[in-house]
Amino acid sequence: MTADIVTMFRKSSYSDQEGDCVEVALTAGEGRAIRDSKQATAGMVRCGKAAWISFITEVSAEAGVTTDSGTTVVTSQ
């Protein structure tokens, strides 16, 4: 069963000049749906809450950033 998307997709304010970025939306159960901003109709990847937190935690560790329960989205600077 696929969790319903419960918010609009949002794009990072850190997107480059050409708009190359991913967009993220909240799903039921606090998971996420992720899609390519330039190919929004091409499909998406969905993950549950635990997988999202794990992903954000790993990305944050690589960037040397501390997260708040996996909710902080980290971008390169």
Residue 58: which of 47, 2, 17 has the closest Cα?
47
Beta bridge partner(s), residue 61: none
Residues 6+ away with beta carbon under 8 Å from 74: 56, 59, 60, 63, 65, 67
19-75 confidence digits (pLDDT tens): 678 899 999 989 999 998 888 889 999 999 999 989 888 887 887 776 665 555 544
- Predicted TM-score (pTM) of this structure: 0.72
